[in-house]
A and B are shown apart, each in its own frame.
Chain A
Amino acid sequence: MGTLDTLLDHPALWRGRSAAPAPDAPVWPSGHAELDRALGGGWPRGQLVELLGAPFGCGETRLLVPMLAACGHDGYWIAVIAPPATPWLPGWQTLGIPPERVLLIHTEHDRDTLWAGEQCLRDPAFGVLLAWLRGPVETALLRRLRLAASESRACAILYRPPNAAAQPSPAHQRLRWQPAASGLELHCLKGGGHWARSGQPLRVPEAPEA
């Protein structure tokens, strides 16, 4: 298996069904070399990425700070939909994320969250979408979100509770995270590249304080 993977990852070999982004596909940097490699260059723009895990606040947002900073720096908007807590924007600003580009959207139901996400993705002004789902949702709504994401140039991140892993999802990539000794441990549940096939977890240490 290992030999085959090495062979399949050979740069001279192009596979038609490869879902990994092409080398020049637009990405936002993840700020972490190994994660960049595993994701195929960075957080993919024009894709829907699910991050599954609990509880809130283990560093799963901090994981995305380099992407958010790059997005804000490029003049794109960041949509934050139904977060479980209020963003502390002076903290975001210190980390390089322009607060005036952060749009906060409150919703009552998960359906509204997905609708708002879809609307934002259809607007070219947005570069990153962060949305939190509280419970299970219909696959049809997720499929709409995936479609909107693939027609956009934004990276759509959907945070879901860990039990959603049992339910199949149309997202381009699904990552499960759990807190580790220092930082996060990421498992790729679904994705196109070598990482998904290997089944190996990836440890992302906490970024040194900026």
Chain B
Amino acid sequence: MGQPARPPHAAMPPEPARQQLSLLPVAATPAPVPAPQPPETRPARSGATRARQEHWMAIDLPHLALDALARAEPDPERLQRPLLVVTSGAAPRVHTANRAARRAGARPGMALGDALAVLDTPELVEHDPDALQAQLEMLAGVLLRFSDHVHPEPEASRILVEVGRSRRLFGGLEALGQQARETLVELGFHPRIGLGRSPAAARLLARLRTPAIAEDPEALRRLLSPVPLEALPLANTTREGLHAVGLRQLGDLLRLSRPELARRHGPELLDLLDRLLARRAETLPRFVPPPVLDLSLRLEHEIHATTALAFPLKRLLRQAEAQLRGLNRSLQGMTLELIHREARTRLTLERGQPGIRADEWLPLWQTRLERETLPEAVIGLRLQAPHLLNPADRGDSLLAEDPASRPPADQLPAVLARLRARLGEQAVARLINRRTPRPEDAQRPRHDLAAIPAPTAPTPGQRAAGNALWLQGPEPAAPPEQPQWLGRLEDGWWDHGQDARRDYACSRDRQGRRLWLYRCLRSGQWYRQGYWG
């Protein structure tokens, strides 16, 4: 939830808009290059206070409940059938109806019994306000990439974003609105966006689906004048009173004298008008996102095959990408929990380099999931990141793409994640020198490839055994005919009973193999240690 209100114009002294842009999380946005454009027309600079430069974007999500369902639904056919979101209780009511259900006559607010009378076996889904609030806050986190001042209003399924300070960065209000819309549509939501000079105006324009943008108070007044009074958030008595005296449009109201209006219809009406026309500032608390990645998705249908998980997973990864862009964080590994009825399957994935792009993570997860067989049906997904990283400099630079350039010395090949995803964590390894003399246990495979260990030089004992190429566990061997002696290995007498005294040699056998052998000085027995190469 939002933090206590911090009035923006009280906390900071008035500053030119350009400098305020540095507060925004710009590094992670996908290059929204502010195109050079003629400076926007502004009201006279001298009198322009911070409050007057504010511009609000209201994003109405009237279909939030349906959108949230559709996101988890891999089968688009199912959404074509009538579907009702129902509030539970003594008298269940329709909270939301999808298009098919509305066409058949179901309306939000209808009693469930009435809706069932007009619909032929609709799908019923229970209304879950907590889930919707979580969705809305997730989206508020996503919208942080457009502004640092975001305010979700869960009871109205609406998010308000202050965009007056970031409009130039995104190439104007219209382009900004469009980008916000695209971002949300990509996540599977259907926003209605209104832009106004005050939160109240933006809310009203979003509800009326008016795409027009009013830049100055006079234009806003013209834009709002034809709005019917029914559209205003007024108390019923006030609305009826206004209707009774013959007032129909907002413009009629604005022409009347203010003291008279206040006297007849109460100060709330004046307050609303002032807020609509941005004459009075409205302070909204700022949304502060939780600094962790923990997203879950409940599947309406059970999924039995790993391949079918790709669709909901893609949604989840997109959401993670958008949220991390908003937070300006990156990540290198994540955990996916497949939620079954009884149990959970935890899968982790670690990459060579940090990154947040969904289309990089999805193929990795797909290869990882191919290896899994589901013990039981999956009813939900949960994506978590153990720790988020600060974003590195842009990894996908032009120079790294050049195949002629050398690979960076301290970076792991990006392919490791894919190999491990398909072959298993244990299949990909580096060998670490343990610096013990006996070759058969001198090397330890290391599967954690996150860091490159410092190279260790071979010990003198290891050198004495010769520079053979291939190692095997010692196996008894026949004495060679013409051994080429390499050196003597003696490890500690302190190694209780395990001490080894060996003379190493290499020799060629009948098949032409170059064997790497040693003779145990204790027993005189020959052993094969590996191949010379």
Contacts and interface: CB of A to CB of B under 8 A. Distances in A.
A125 B512 contact: no
Most B C-beta atoms less than 10 A away, residue of A85, A88, A122, A178: A88
B150 interface: no
A87 B445 CA distance: 11
Interface in B385-416: 403-404, 406-407, 409, 411-416
A122 B427 contact: no
A36 to B, nearest CB: 20
A107 interface: yes
A105 B513 contact: no
Interface stretch (B289-297, B313-321, B525-533): B525-533
A203 B516 CA distance: 23
Contacts, number: 159
Contacts of A86: 431, 443, 470-472, 530
A29 B530 CA distance: 27
Nearest to B409: A75
Contacts of A98: 455
Interface string A168-201: 0000000000111000000000000000000000
A85 B531 contact: yes
Nearest to A115: B422
Nearest to B443: A89
B458 A112 contact: no
A103 B423 contact: no
A62 interface: yes
Given A58-B513, A105-B428, A122-B415, A88 B439 contact: yes
Contacts of A93: 455, 457-458
A112 B412 CA distance: 21
B427 A62 contact: no
A69 to B, nearest CB: 12
A77 B407 contact: yes
A210 B533 CA distance: 14
B467 A91 contact: yes
B419 interface: yes
B31 interface: no
B24 interface: no
Please tell me the size bucket of the interface on A.
35 or more
Contacts of A99: 430-431, 433, 455
B514 interface: yes
B424 to A, nearest CB: 9
B458 A94 contact: yes
A59 interface: yes
Contacts of B471: 85-88
A123 B514 contact: no
Contacts of A180: 512
Nearest to A118: B415
A165 interface: no
A119 interface: yes
Nearest to B516: A88
A100 B386 CA distance: 28
Contacts of A105: 419, 423, 427-429
B403 A106 contact: no
Residue among A60, A85, A102 with most chain B CB within 10 A: A85
Interface in A89-137: 89-95, 98-100, 102-107, 112, 115-116, 119-120, 122-126
A126 B404 CA distance: 12
B513 A100 contact: no
Interface of A: 55-62, 65, 74-77, 83-95, 98-100, 102-107, 112, 115-116, 119-120, 122-126, 153, 178-180, 209-210
Given A55-B513, A94-B467, A99-B431, 17 more contacts: A56-B531, A57-B515, A75-B407, A75-B409, A85-B472, A90-B442, A90-B462, A91-B458, A100-B452, A105-B423, A105-B429, A123-B414, A125-B407, A125-B414, A125-B415, A126-B415, A180-B512
21 contacts: A55-B511, A57-B514, A57-B531, A59-B514, A65-B533, A77-B407, A84-B470, A86-B431, A86-B472, A88-B470, A88-B471, A89-B443, A90-B459, A91-B466, A92-B469, A94-B463, A105-B419, A105-B427, A106-B427, A123-B415, A178-B512
Among all A-B residue pairs, the 7 with the closest Cβ atoms: A179-B512, A57-B531, A62-B533, A90-B458, A125-B413, A123-B415, A91-B467
